[in-house]
């Protein structure tokens, strides 16, 4: 008698759970370090449920300090009866810069999840110790995702997630580890393969029904060179390029739907058209100034734009296939980068289709000038032993005073060979008058050695700067910390 009661009780508990979760995500930004060593941090998160009335709260463990401000959950976007995404924010004031962990856990995900996930669990590790490379507490990777993405079962597809790091770190994605309690459990979807660069590849399957999978990812930031993290009490820890600094969760539902008659985009599946910004594009807008993102797509029967971004972003449509998203950042968001992702949905004979996922990052501040691909002096003959030297991560050109105009730099160093480039922005200050400070952040990889060929490198940089309009009497110096200083005698 007793034995048969036990499963019955379990069944009743299970039956009382609402099945309504479609994932979450969280990012963080340090806000201020105060004179007494206390640090404030803002945690922004999204909660995805079937309805806008469901809820859950993040639990904090470790150096949690006090919660000084809370932004109540506000609706970002909603597909009635399918999902509602809301954004919330929590500001914490910590007595020192020791990090903490925050966890969201509960039950249940929507029903019939194919990879057997029932309970939800998501974990964020907040690291706020000062970084030796920029002297500031760490910022997490920035990303977002829609609650559900739809894929027809017969089309191969790659989902390139947004993976941006404001500190310039390398962002990597992995599935959560069940043994580390990063989800409950973490079983990955069998139909996806994940690359560490945050791309998910879908391999066509043989299904005719709509099958939902829970995708439970962890995103981490890795320094591009060894850095030291310094605690308020002075103790230090080295993070190498294989040590994650912080981690954030990114969880959503992949809905593998019925086969589509054609996988060609622009027919059943919507296809993005110009001027839709490219995936992972970085956009800029000053605080208080509205940024409008224009989105255009074509397909047989477009029914709407679905998006994830700041909750106060406004959507509009000027007719089928033409959409816009408008957002005005506040002054407190100055310098921060905010993620925005969207898909265009179509509906043909009762089946819903999504375009590719498109994401952009919106940085609050003045527009920098986009730098062309990175440049290297010509390769040295291969008979000599090649010494790979990397000026990394930043080559800073400070020019003061000069008559250089911002536009000049858009074509800086175009005649050299092109190499891998990351983090290329050129941000002139808006200083009035003849004095200009130009900050140029580029990563240069070259087969020349910084030790033996520095004069060649300096001359190549100098010649190019002069070509681009700087006075010919500039002098260029390379500093040991990989900075380039440009000075000129003439005003």
135 binds ligand NAG (CB under 6 A): yes
77 binds ligand NAG (CB under 6 A): yes
Site string for ligand NAG, 92-111 (x = CB under 6 A): ------x-------------
Is 187 or 207 the residue whose CB approaches ligand NAG more closely? 207
Nearest-angstrom CA–CA distance, 186 and 116: 9
Q: Which of 466, 450, 460 is nearest to 374 (CA)?
A: 460
CB of 316 to ligand NAG, least distance (A): 5
206 binds ligand NAG (CB under 6 A): yes
Distance from the Cα of residue 489 to its chain's centroid? 42
316 binds ligand NAG (CB under 6 A): yes
Figure out which of the listed residues 67, 226, 264, 370 binds ligand NAG, where binding follows CB under 6 A.
226
CB of 133 to ligand NAG, least distance (A): 12
Pairing of strands 389-400, 483-487: parallel
Q: Which of 394, 400, 409 is nearest to 436 (CA)?
A: 400
Structure tokens at 74: 């506000």
33 binds ligand NAG (CB under 6 A): yes
- Report cis status (omega within 30 of 0) of the bond before 186: no
Nearest-angstrom CA–CA distance, 42 and 73: 15
153 binds ligand NAG (CB under 6 A): no
Q: Is 40 exposed, middle or buried (0-12, 13-18, 19+ CB in 10 A)?
A: buried
Pairing of strands 281-285, 358-364: parallel
How far, CA to CA in Å, does 75 sit from each of 71, 78, 151, 363?
A: 12, 7, 25, 22
CB of 247 to ligand NAG, least distance (A): 19
317 binds ligand NAG (CB under 6 A): yes
Nearest residue (beta carbon) to ligand NAG:
319
CB of 198 to ligand NAG, least distance (A): 25
74 binds ligand NAG (CB under 6 A): no
Figure out which of the listed residues 105, 118, 287, 348 binds ligand NAG, where binding follows CB under 6 A.
348
53 binds ligand NAG (CB under 6 A): no
CB of 302 to ligand NAG, least distance (A): 8
Using the structure block, give the residue that is written with the tokens 């130009």.
438
Q: Which stretch binds ligand NAG (CB under 6 A): 165-173, 194-202, 245-253, 317-325?
A: 317-325
Backbone torsions φ then ψ of 458, nearest 5 degrees: -60, -45
Q: Which stretch binds ligand NAG (CB under 6 A): 42-50, 113-121, 311-319, 475-483?
A: 311-319
Asked if residues 37 and 61 have their Cβ atoms less than 8 Å apart, the reply is no
Asked if residues 296 and 276 have their Cβ atoms less than 8 Å apart, the reply is yes
User: Which residues would be at the binding site for ligand NAG (CB under 6 A)?
Assistant: 33, 77-78, 98, 130, 135-136, 206, 226, 230-235, 238, 240, 296, 301, 303, 315-322, 347-349
């Amino acid at each position: 008698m007793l034995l048969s009661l036990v499963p019955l009780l379990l069944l009743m508990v299970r039956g009382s759970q609402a099945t309504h979760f479609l994932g979450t995500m969280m990012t963080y930004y340090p806000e201020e370090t105060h004179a007494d060593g206390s640090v404030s941090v803002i945690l922004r998160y999204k909660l995805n449920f079937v309805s806008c009335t469901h809820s859950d709260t993040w639990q904090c463990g470790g150096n949690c300090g006090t919660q000084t401000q809370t932004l109540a959950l506000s609706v970002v976007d909603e597909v009635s009866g399918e999902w509602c995404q809301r954004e919330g924010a929590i500001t914490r004031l910590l007595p020192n810069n020791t990090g903490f962990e925050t966890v969201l856990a509960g039950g249940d995900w929507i029903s019939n999840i194919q990879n057997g996930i029932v309970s939800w669990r998501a974990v964020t590790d907040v690291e706020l110790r000062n970084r030796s490379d920029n002297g500031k507490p760490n910022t997490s990777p920035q990303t977002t995702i829609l609650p559900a993405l739809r894929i027809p079962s017969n089309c191969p597809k790659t989902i390139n997630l947004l993976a941006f790091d404001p500190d310039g770190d390398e962002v990597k994605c992995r599935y959560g580890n069940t043994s580390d309690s990063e989800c409950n459990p973490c079983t990955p979807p069998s139909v996806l393969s994940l690359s560490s660069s945050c791309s998910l590849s879908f391999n066509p399957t043989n299904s005719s029904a709509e099958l939902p999978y829970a995708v439970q990812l962890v995103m981490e930031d890795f320094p591009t060179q060894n850095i030291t993290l310094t605690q308020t009490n002075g103790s230090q820890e080295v993070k190498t390029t294989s040590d994650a600094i912080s981690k954030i969760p990114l969880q959503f539902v992949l809905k593998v739907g019925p086969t589509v008659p054609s996988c060609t985009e622009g027919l059943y599946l919507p296809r993005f058209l110009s001027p839709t910004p490219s995936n992972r594009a970085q956009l800029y807008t000053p605080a208080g100034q509205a940024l409008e993102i224009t989105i255009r797509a074509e397909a047989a029967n477009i029914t709407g734009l679905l998006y994830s971004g700041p909750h106060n972003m406004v959507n509009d449509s000027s007719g089928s296939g033409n959409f816009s998203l408008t957002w005005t950042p506040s002054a407190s968001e100055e310098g921060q980068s905010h993620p925005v992702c969207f898909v265009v949905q179509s509906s043909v004979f009762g089946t819903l289709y999504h375009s590719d996922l498109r994401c952009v990052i919106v940085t609050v501040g003045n527009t920098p000038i986009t730098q062309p691909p990175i440049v290297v002096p010509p390769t040295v003959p291969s008979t000599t032993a090649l010494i790979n030297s990397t000026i990394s991560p930043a080559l800073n050109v400070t020019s003061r005073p000069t008559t250089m105009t911002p536009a000049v730099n858009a074509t800086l160093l175009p005649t050299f060979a092109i190499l891998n480039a990351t983090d290329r922005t050129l941000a002139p200050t808006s200083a009035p008058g003849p004095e200009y400070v130009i900050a140029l952040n580029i990563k240069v990889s070259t087969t020349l050695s910084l030790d033996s060929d520095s004069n060649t490198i300096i001359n190549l940089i100098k010649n190019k700067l002069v070509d681009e309009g700087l006075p010919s009497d500039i002098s260029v110096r390379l500093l040991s910390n990989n900075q380039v200083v440009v000075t000129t005698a003439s005003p």
